[in-house]
Amino acid sequence: MKRTLVKFRSSVFREFIRKHEKYAPIIFFIGGFVFDTLTLGRVDRLYDLTVLSLHMTFLTITIYLFNLADDFKWKNRFLLRLRDYYPLAIQFFFGALSSAYVIYFSRSVSLSKTMSFFIILLVLLFANELLKKRISNKYLQFSVYFFINFTFFSFIIPVLIKVMNTNVFILSGLISFALTLTLISVIYLKSPSTRAEIKLGKVIGLVFGLYGMINLFYVFNLIPPVPLALENGLVAHNIKVENNTYKVTFETDDWYIFWRDHRLKFISEPEETVYVFTSIFAPTDIEKSIYHRWKWYNNQTEEWQTIEDIGYTIKGGRNYGYRGYTYKSNTMPGLWKVEVITEEELIIGVVDFEIIINDTLKPVNLIEKIF
> Which stretch of 72-81, 207-216, 220-229, 295-304 has the lowest confidence by average pLDDT?
72-81
Task: Report residue 2's pLDDT band, with 50, 70 and 90 as the boundaries.
Answer: very low
What is the tens place of the pLDDT at every residue in 235-253? 999 999 998 899 999 999 8
Of the candidates 242, 249, 174, 256, the one whose C-alpha atom is nearest the C-alpha of residue 207 is 174
At 143-190, the pLDDT tens digits run 889 988 998 998 889 988 888 888 999 999 999 999 999 999 999 999
Distance CA 235, CA 250 (A): 7
Q: How far apart are CA 350 and CA 278, in angstroms?
A: 10
Q: Measured between alpha carbons, how far is 311 from 172 in angstroms, rounded to an integer? A: 27
pLDDT for the residue numbered 131: 45
**Please, are residues 98 and 31 in contact by the beta-carbon 8 Å criterion?**
no
Q: Model confidence at 112, in pLDDT bands (50, 70, 90)? A: low
Q: d(Cα 151, Cα 140) in Å, to the nearest integer?
A: 17
pLDDT at site 290: 93
Residue 10 has pLDDT above 70, yes or no: no
Q: Can you give the pLDDT at residue 76?
A: 56
Does the structure show a pLDDT above 70 at 127? no
Cα separation, 4 vs 155, in Å, equals 46
Q: What's the pLDDT band for 15 if we cut at 50, 70, 90?
A: low
DSSP code, position 251: E
Q: Which of the four pLDDT bands, split at 50, 70 and 90, describes residue 220?
A: confident
Give SS3 for 189.
helix
**Quick check: 273 pLDDT over 60?**
yes
34 vs 326 pLDDT, higher one: 326
pLDDT-derived band at 206 (thresholds 50, 70, 90) equals very high
State what percent of residues in the chain have pLDDT above 70: 78
Q: Are 232 and 371 in contact (CB under 8 A)?
A: yes
State the amino acid at position 46 in one-letter form.
L
Least confident of 37-46, 157-166, 226-235: 37-46
The pLDDT score that the predictor gives to residue 277 is: 96
Which ranges in 20-81 belong to alpha helices (H)? 24-39, 46-69, 78-81
Average pLDDT of the chain? 81
Q: How confident is the model at residue 29 (pLDDT cuts 50, 70, 90)?
A: low
Q: What is the pLDDT of residue 6?
A: 46
Spans of all domains in the chain: 2-219, 229-370
* Lowest mean pLDDT, pick from 99-103, 208-212, 349-353: 99-103
In this predicted structure, the answer to whether residue 18 has a pLDDT above a threshold of 50 is yes
CA distance linking residue 130 with residue 197, whole number of Å: 19
Which residues make Cβ contacts (< 8 Å) with residue 57, sequence separation at least 6? none
Distance of alpha carbon 24 from alpha carbon 87, whole angstroms: 9
User: What is the amino acid identity at position 134?
Assistant: R
Q: Domain 229-370 - what CATH class?
A: mainly beta
> How many angstroms separate the CA atoms of 197 and 184, rounded?
13
User: Would the pLDDT of 371 be above 80?
Assistant: yes
pLDDT of 22? 58
Asked whether residue 132 carries a pLDDT value surpassing 50, the answer given is no
Closest CA to 358 of 338, 333, 336, 335: 333
pTM, to two decimals = 0.76
